[in-house]
Chains A and B, each alone.
Chain A
Amino acid sequence: MVRRRHFLKLPPGGALLVYSLDGEPLLQTPAGEVQVPLRFFTSDEAAIVEAAVSRIFPSDDTGPGAKECGVTLYIDRQLAGPYGRDRYRYTKEPFEAGSAEQGYQGKSTPREIYRTNLKSLAGLASLSEAEQDNRLRAIENTAFFRLLRQHTLEGMFCDPMHGGNRDCLGWQLIGFPGPYMSWANDIDRHYGETHRVKSQSISQILNRKVVPWEELEP
């Protein structure tokens, strides 16, 4: 089925590097607004997700947040890929309700969970931050919110090859260096002192493209 093209709209300036990782064209409107092609979300859905994850992990005086790190695009790519269609779950029938100890037994795939639940957040993007917080607080004990929060953390701190943690901004924020090859000379030094290096992705360290799982199993 051919999908009408949908975009995530971003304010002018910055924010280009990770989006071009896909090799997909970035469209710039006359006003300088950047439009990033989406793989799963519609433009409206992406705007809701962008609003929600920006409240979960805000950009504030502590440092960059979900917006700068590309969390919405991370989630879009995960949902478009094997994770989104439940490739990593046992999905045989019958689906039956179980006890809490038996874990998630629902039939819905992550794609379906987002599609359904985003409907109930319609209009979120146009609200004020305080109103957005109220809407989110009303659902904060739901399974969907827990999933959204988990995906926000993934998009903040995954290797940039997955589309989040743009320019390693998430790692830099918390002082995680990424996959450095050796700490053998540091492990028993710097006791109680901060030891920080520039955060780098696996591709930067190896100086070659590393293919994430979602691209191997479309």
Chain B
Amino acid sequence: MTNLAAVDVVIIGGGWSGMLMAKELAAKSSSRIVVLERGKPRNPKEYIEGMDELDYALRYRMMQDVAKETVTFRNEVKQKALPIRQFGSFLPGDGVGGAGEHWNGMTPRFLPDVFEMHKTTVEKYGKKRLPAGSTVQDWGITYKEIEPYYLKAEQLLGISGLAGNPMTGPRSGPFPTPPLKQTYFGKLFTDASLALGYHPYPAPSANLSQSYRNPDGVIRPACQYCGFCERFGCMVGAKAQPTNTLLPVLQKRSNVTITTSAQVRRIVTKDGVATGVVYVSNGKEFFQPAARVVLASWTLNNTRLLLLSGIGNANTGRNLTHQVMGAGATLFFDRPLNRYMGSGSSNMTVSDFDGDNFDHSQVDFIRGAYISSPAYGARPIANFGAVPGDVKATWGSEWKKAAVAAYDRTARLGSSGEHIPYSSNFMDLDPTYTDILGDPLLRLTLDWNENEMKIHNFISSKIETIAKRMPVKSYTMSPALKRYDVMSYKSTHLQGGTIMGSDPSSSVVDPRGRHWQVRNLWVLGASTFPQNPSGNPTLTVLAQTLMAASAWPDR
């Protein structure tokens, strides 16, 4: 093992959270900072060559190499966990920029009561309404506290949006750029939702509606609605990505080094203090001593590295959540939609049935979901083949004829729902399977419970109401939620494992991301979220990182 020269801060992971922390800390002082990223550097100029559905959307060319490292999965403890041999349900990132290079750019804020879900639910509905076995708890911060950091994060990325949505929290400042343009499908959804008295709003978007210069002087152009957005890097840089938003600033800082191909295996501690990290690069092992360690390697590896390093407390690994995504409908229209055009966040959303935006005293579940009209660009391998319910064939001439006719006349309404935590859903180390270096894989024990199934049913009925108001020829509702499976893509919004809170006995890190026991260790990212709100997490990850940086102690 090679011992390297000590630095002030070592950051594990070069995605949104790690790179933003590096930028903030480098601006504050002359501390020497090293970012260790297991993947390769990226050249966004080449993203234009990556507009290829097969390699990027189906074979995951930009994502974590599953052959080297995966996680194991089971629904419940009495099963044996088996490795996820091909990613499906979620798609971990890899390389400089992490998953932030190939995300969709949907950037809502969380609803205000999300941060105090336990308190507000109990106050309004009583303790007995918390589902059996659930472990809902408050974040230790409030919406009011995080709001200024939301605004700062929005200004950093140039978020496009329309203020005034009565279903979302108050804003202390405007969106930096106006909302994206809407597709025909988005308009049909908007018209139907308005007719029903709902509040359709454009999804806040990190894909810019117009060219924007951020407070760091970084300029990005407008989105071209190319339709190769989710799972692809943006060829023009309209989508905010760590490489086009943070890297240009970091590259000018002489006190920051980004080391790629550096797979961190352990955080080393002595007498309750972190002394540095051990990483492997091209088969060689290095020890990087550091005065402070920041863990920013996303939900799964944040949890895994703490467990592998023997750091932490009884709370490490708990409150694993994903998102209730399945409620939806496939709609068949008379008129063409030109749906090859689109962007990762050029959708309309209805938040009227999200969170506690509607009264839950007459229903038998808590929380909800937002409904949306995705217009990502209907790439053909994944999207061709849907046919109206009266066509039973799935191959051959009859099916082909119907599918060709339906291809540009089909769209899906979707939703994104909250997932509350349960003691039965958690992460620990797998006893059998290892990664390519021989370290135990992380094991997920995860299933849906009644509350999620009820949200799913309820939201499905609302989606059906909207579908009926749209000029459709026919529609097919998605099936009811059953057991959690690892094949169908939901989102890459896994959360929990290193949750934050104001009480050291029930959380892993404090409300500023600082580890309760190892005080010179910080953990950033959605692994710190005690439960899973419906909203896409990254804006909150960024706001939380800014909050942690602003509370960073001088000594």
Q: How far is the CA of A95 from the CA of B381 in the complex (A)?
A: 30
Q: Report the Cα distance A102→B443, complex, angstroms.
A: 12
Q: Chain A residues with Cβ under 8 A from B397's Cβ?
A: 58, 60, 62
Q: Is the CB of A153 within 8 A of B61?
A: no
Q: Are A105 and B52 in contact (CB under 8 A)?
A: no
- Pick from B70, B336, B378, B434: contact of A194, CB under 8 Å: B336
B326-340: CB near A (< 8 Å → 1, else 0) gives 000000000110101
**Which of B85, B228, B396, B408 has the most CB atoms of chain A within a 10 A radius of its CB?**
B85
Bound form: Cα–Cα A195–B340 in Å = 10
Partner among A100, A133, A182 whose Cβ is within 8 Å of the Cβ of B396: A133
- B222 on the interface (CB 8 Å rule)? yes
Rounded to whole angstroms, the CA-CA distance of A96 and B85 in the bound complex is 12
B53 touches A57 (CB 8 A): no
Which residue of A is nearest B65, CB measured?
A88
- The answer to whether the Cβ of A212 comes within 8 Å of any Cβ in the partner chain is yes
Q: Which residue of B lies closest to A53 (CB)?
A: B395
What's the nearest-Cβ distance from chain B to residue A209, in Å?
A: 10
The answer to whether B380 touches A176 (Cβ under 8 A) is: yes
Q: Cα distance A183–B180 when bound, in Å?
A: 13
Question: Once bound together, how far apart are the Cα atoms of A157 and B79, in whole Å?
Answer: 39
Main secondary structure of the interface of A (DSSP, over half): loop
Contact (Cβ within 8 A) A62 B338: no
* Pairwise interchain contact B395-A56, C-beta atoms closer than 8 A: yes
B52 interface neighbour in A56, A179, A188, Cβ under 8 Å: A179
Name A187's contact: one of B342, B378, B407, B486 (CB within 8 Å).
B342
Select from chain B the residue with minimum beta-carbon distance to A148: B395
Contact yes or no, A183 B224, CB < 8 A = yes
Interface assignment of A55: CB less than 8 Å from any CB of chain B: yes
Indicate if the CB atoms of B380 and A183 lie closer than 8 Å: no
- B contact residues, total (Cβ < 8 Å): 68
Please determine whether A101 and B483 come into contact, CB atoms closer than 8 angstroms: yes
A101 to B485, CA, bound (A): 4
Contacts of A191 in B (CB 8 A): 184, 187
Q: How far is the CA of A67 from the CA of B400 in the complex (A)?
A: 14
Check if A140 is an interface residue, CB within 8 A of chain B.
Answer: yes
Q: Are A104 and B85 in contact (CB under 8 A)?
A: yes
**Distance between Cα atoms of A161 and B50 in the complex (Å):** 12
- Whether, in the assembled complex, B4 has its beta carbon less than 8 Å from a beta carbon of chain A, the answer is no
For chain B residues 172-210, which have a beta carbon within 8 Å of chain A?
Answer: 181-184, 187
- Cβ distance A186 to chain B, nearest Cβ, rounded Å: 6
Whether B6 sits at the interface, judged by CB under 8 Å, is no
Contact between B381 and A187, CB atoms less than 8 A apart? no
CB-nearest residue of chain A to B483: A101
- A188 and B335 contacting across the interface, CB-CB below 8 Å: no
Other-chain contact of A213, B59, B80, B183, B407 (Cβ < 8 Å): B59
Bound CA span A87–B67, Å: 7
- A55, A105, A161, A173: the one contacting B85 at CB < 8 Å is A105
Interchain CA distance A100-B484 in the complex, whole Å: 10
Give bound CA distance, A205 to B336, whole Å: 25
Q: B13 CB to closest chain A CB, in angstroms? A: 21
- Cα–Cα, bound, A213→B458 (Å): 43
Q: With A177-B340, A192-B335, A193-B336 given, is the CB distance from A92 to B181 under 8 Å?
A: no
A89 to B68 CA separation, bound complex (whole angstroms): 9
- Chain A residues near B379 (CB-CB < 8 A): 176
Check if A30 is an interface residue, CB within 8 A of chain B. Answer: no
Shortest distance from the beta carbon of A24 to any chain B beta carbon, whole Å: 21
Interface size on A, residues (CB 8 A): 66
Q: Is B19 an interface residue (CB 8 A)?
A: no
| Residue contact B384 to A102, C-beta cutoff 8 Å | no
Question: In the complex, what distance in Å separates the CA atom of A10 from the CA atom of B26?
Answer: 63
Asked if residues A179 and B51 are in contact (CB atoms below 8 Å), the reply is yes
Query: Provided the pairs A90-B84, A188-B182 are in contact, do residues A154 and B228 lie with their beta carbons within 8 angstroms?
Result: no
CB-based nearest B residue for A66 = B400
Contact of B58 among A100, A154, A174 (CB under 8 A): A154
Q: Which residue of chain B has its CB nearest to the CB of A62?
A: B401
Report the bound CA distance from A157 to B407 in whole Å: 13
Question: Are B432 and A94 in contact (CB-based, < 8 A)?
Answer: yes
Does B235 have its Cβ within 8 Å of any Cβ on chain A? yes
- Residue from B341, B380, B487 in contact with A157 in the complex, judged by beta carbons closer than 8 Å: B380
Asked if A40 is an interface residue, CB under 8 A from chain B, the answer is no
B83 on the A face (CB < 8 A): yes
Residues in A with CB closer than 8 Å to B84 are 90, 102-103
Known: A92-B434, A157-B53, A182-B225. A103 touches B400 (CB 8 A): no
Partner of B86, one of A88, A154, A186, A212: A88
Which B-chain residue is minimally distant from A202 (CB atoms)? B51
Q: Which of B226, B385, B395, B487 contacts A103 (CB 8 A)?
A: B487
Bound-state CA distance A101–B340 (Å) is 32
CB–CB A57/B395 < 8 A: yes
Tell whether B60 is near chain A: CB-to-CB under 8 Å. Answer: yes
Residues of A within 8 A of B83 (CB): 90, 92
Which of B51, B75, B336, B432 interacts with A99 by CB under 8 Å? B75
The chain A residue with its CB closest to the CB of B184 is A191
Q: Find residues 36-90 in chain A having any chain B CB closer than 8 Å to their own CB.
A: 55-58, 60, 62-63, 65, 83, 86-90
Q: Measured between alpha carbons, how far is A56 from B384 in the docked complex, in Å?
A: 14
A88 — which chain B residues lie within 8 A by C-beta?
Answer: 59-60, 66-67, 86
* Contacts known (A62-B397, A90-B66, A158-B53); A103 close to B486, Cβ less than 8 A: yes
1/0 per residue, CB under 8 A from A, across B28-63: the answer is: 000000000000000000001101111100111100
**Which of A56, A105, A180 has the most B CB atoms < 10 Å from its CB?**
A180
| A31 part of interface (Cβ distance < 8 Å) | no
Q: Across the interface, which residues of B come within 8 angstroms of A152, CB to CB? A: 395
CB of B82 within 8 A of CB of A102, answer yes
Q: Mark B210-231, 1 if CB is under 8 A from A, else 0.
A: 0000000000001111111000
Query: Which residue of B is nearest A193, CB measured?
Result: B336
Q: Are the CB atoms of A202 and B486 closer together than 8 Å?
A: no
Bound-complex Cα distance A93 to B378 (A): 37
Q: Is the CB of B59 within 8 A of A179?
A: no
The yes or no answer to A143 lying at the interface (CB within 8 A) is no
A181 within 8 A of B: yes
Q: Is the CB of B67 within 8 A of A89?
A: yes
Contact A153 B338 (CB under 8 A): no
- 26 interchain pairs (CB within 8 A)? A55-B396, A60-B397, A60-B401, A62-B397, A65-B400, A88-B60, A89-B86, A90-B67, A92-B83, A98-B80, A98-B82, A101-B484, A102-B73, A103-B485, A104-B85, A149-B394, A156-B380, A157-B384, A175-B408, A179-B52, A183-B224, A188-B182, A190-B338, A206-B48, A212-B52, A213-B61
Across chains A and B, which 10 residue pairs bring their CB atoms closest together, nearest first? A179-B51, A157-B380, A182-B224, A183-B341, A101-B485, A192-B335, A188-B181, A191-B184, A98-B82, A183-B225
